Amino acid sequence: MLDARVSRVTRIMAASNLFGITSGSTVLSSTLRLRPEGSGPPPKGSEERWNLAESAGRLVEISGSGAAASLTFAFGLVLEAQQQGELVGWVTVTESFFYPPDVAQGGVDLDALVVARVPDLRAVSRAGEKLLRSGAFGLVVLDVGAAEIPMPLQARLAGLARQHHAALVCLTEKEKRDFSLGSLVSLRVHAERTQLPQGRFTCKLKVLKDKRRGPTWSQAEVYRGPAGLC
């Protein structure tokens, strides 16, 4: 147990030395995060495919437009990774943050979440490359918004994800009909959110591209929004 803790601290220190990284607990935010509500087991015969194991070693894109559920599903992976003892990195620009109190209430350990705040969208992917190259992370999330990732950089990112068996998840701002980031994206899902009565929401993932299974599946869950979200 002690060796595992020492190893984890060493990985965090090594990652923090790559560039200006701060603990997630120091980041302010204005973006709302939904909290899950027990909705029972999945239907008989179904299989939940949105999980860390399904994303490991792959370049994954979660697209969404406006008040989508991209953050909800991304932080589902963050929580799962932390529960498995994996280090998680989150790269974003200074104008685009998640909301730490709601993330913490959802079970995420903010003190163990490594957040890199970079000056512009072009720097997000380069920062992600440094995190992946360190080999310390089981999950790296890149909030790239509407920016494009050049194909040479995509190739390096995808190769590093495979090499270190890490999940690389890119959050993009686009419509379902828009093209994915590129041909190297192994899994592209589109997140949507529908309001229900009593402050609840249905958050749905629709698979638009899956090189392993084909675009034949979707996943929906019921969540309860934070206080003040109508």
pLDDT in tens, 209-219: 999 888 777 78
- Does this model's pTM top 0.85? no
Measured distance CA(73)–CA(204) in Å, rounded = 9
Q: Give residue 135's region: left, alpha or beta (phi > 0; psi -120 to 50).
A: left
Measured distance CA(79)–CA(109) in Å, rounded = 8
Residue 1 pLDDT > 50: no
Of 44-53, 146-155, 173-182, give the lowest mean pLDDT range: 44-53
Q: How far is CA 160 from CA 31, 136, 199, in A?
A: 30, 12, 41
Convert 42-69 to b/e letters by CB count within 10 Å (16 or more is b). Answer: eeeeeeebbebebbbbbbbbbbbeeebb
Q: Max alpha carbon distance in the chain (Å)?
A: 50
* Residue, of 195 and 21, whose pLDDT is higher: 195
Segments making up each domain of the chain, as ranges: 2-30+49-224
- Residue 223 has a pLDDT of 73
Superfamily of domain 2-30+49-224: P-loop containing nucleotide triphosphate hydrolases (3.40.50.300)
Of 2-6, 44-48, 163-167, give the lowest mean pLDDT range: 2-6
